[in-house]
Amino acid sequence: MSDAKLQGVLSALSQTARQLDAVPSSQAGPDADCVKLDTNENPFPLPIAVMRTALTALKRHYLYPEDDNFSLREAAANAYGLSQDQVIAGNGSSELLGLLYRAFLAPGDSVAMMSPGFSFNRKLAMLQGARFLEIGWGKAYSLPIEQLLLGPPKDAKFILLANPNNPSGTFVPVADIDKLAAQSDRLIVLDEAYVDFAPDDALRLINRHSNLLILRTFSKSYAAAGIRVGFGFGHPELIGRLRNIQNLFNMNLIAHAVGISILSHRAAYAENHKHIKHERQRTMVALSELGFSVIPSYANFLLARVPSGQNGAWWQASLKRQKVLVAVFPDDGLENHIRVSIGTKAQMDKFLSAAGDISESLKTQRLPVTRR
């Protein structure tokens, strides 16, 4: 295709699509010997019973998956004490977020998100031609209920918040979410991706507030990020309309089988969650001793302000040279932070050893020159 023809084709794109640059070819993945602590994955193996279920499902690879995720939704409803029509299943909770944007937003509408939060929401809003309002958390990452009710978000089609929050790992009392949902006439979308590492959850509020939608995923606490299983819980009228705009066969049959099996074997993950909480605390203490300022976390990661003198990107690059990957963020106020996923003890030992080596090298560089 000549350049002229290509330009003609591209000019036929929608206005929103024309605003997006073409994505360049992706770089190769990290070396196998890298310690990957940048995407909040849970690096532990699936329980044997869940793995067997996945292998059995693979033998049915030639069949389409079940339409409307019927059995998976039924299993989730039974596990969480809800009715089946209160449950939608998705290809990860990110698919369900996309459905919400398509269902609720037209060009010129607005959506509000507690910020810092999940940055992918910015692109989802842009694709719908909607205004994206970022509302700062209150003091110590508290929920600014009055601002959400009376400030700019009062006209938003829905309000997004995560509990525990990403990337801070902070947690707000469920009573505050209850109060917000009770006083607001907007849809409140609550992302509980990390809730299994937290002291409480808001699922009991579903039957109390018809304007509350809760998202869950098996990517974090159930070590299934690559299998893609997510859920939404809410009022049957809302859930039914969202299910009506889902892609046909939106999930694969292995995800169906694994999701059902995880729901039946959640107790098998107790040691996994206990380990992550223990390593989270150990890592927080060790980083503090190295001069980092660490926000107490209720998720499977830590957000840490790096010692003065360098920024987050410098630390990310320095750790990468030692085969350790961590995340950084361009958001205002987060430039001097790194986010560290919590993995196995061996992974965290490697991270802390690398961070310690970097800290020691910085001290050496700052030593005054001795004059003779």
| Structure tokens, 165 | 């929050």
Number of domains in the chain: 2
Say if residue 227 is in the same domain as residue 318: no
In a domain, 132, yes or no: yes
For residue 8, the model assigns a pLDDT of 83
**113-138 in b/e burial notation, b at 16+ Cβ within 10 A?**
bbbbbbeebeebbebbebbbbebebe
Say if residue 249 is in the same domain as residue 301: no
Check: CB of residue 254 under 8 Å from CB of residue 63.
no
In a domain, 183, yes or no: yes
Domain harbouring 275, CATH code: 3.90.1150.10
Say if residue 143 is in the same domain as residue 38: no
Check: CB of residue 207 under 8 Å from CB of residue 179.
no
In a domain, 369, yes or no: no
In a domain, 230, yes or no: yes
Say if residue 202 is in the same domain as residue 348: no
Write the CA distances from 194 to 93, 106, 111, 118, 130, integer angstroms: 12, 30, 22, 13, 27
Low-confidence ranges of the chain (pLDDT < 70): 1-2, 25-29, 366-372
Helix axes 270-289, 345-366, angle to 10 degrees: 10
3-state secondary structure 239-286: HHHHHHCCCCCCCCHHHHHHHHHHHHCHHHHHHHHHHHHHHHHHHHHH
**DSSP conformation letters of 55-73:** HHHHTTTTSPPPGGGHHHH
* Beta-carbon contacts of residue 301 (< 8 Å; ≥ 6 apart): 40, 166, 167, 169, 339, 340, 341, 342
Say if residue 228 is in the same domain as residue 80: yes
Phi, psi values for residue 304, rounded to 5°? -130, 130
Q: What is the DSSP letter of 327?
A: B
Say if residue 73 is in the same domain as residue 200: yes
Cα dihedral 296→301→307→308 (10° resolution):
-90
Best CA proximity match to 168, nearest among 196, 199, 136: 136
Say if residue 345 is in the same domain as residue 230: no
3-state secondary structure of 5: helix
In a domain, 295, yes or no: yes
pLDDT digits (tens, 9 = 90+) for 4-57: 887 888 888 887 877 777 777 666 667 778 999 999 999 999 999 999 999 999
In a domain, 246, yes or no: yes
For residue 370, the model assigns a pLDDT of 39
Domain harbouring 142, CATH code: 3.40.640.10
For residue 26, the model assigns a pLDDT of 64
Say if residue 251 is in the same domain as residue 298: no
Say if residue 159 is in the same domain as residue 250: yes
Q: Which residues pair with 16 in a beta bridge?
A: none
Which of 211, 233, 264 is the endpoint of a domain?
A: 264
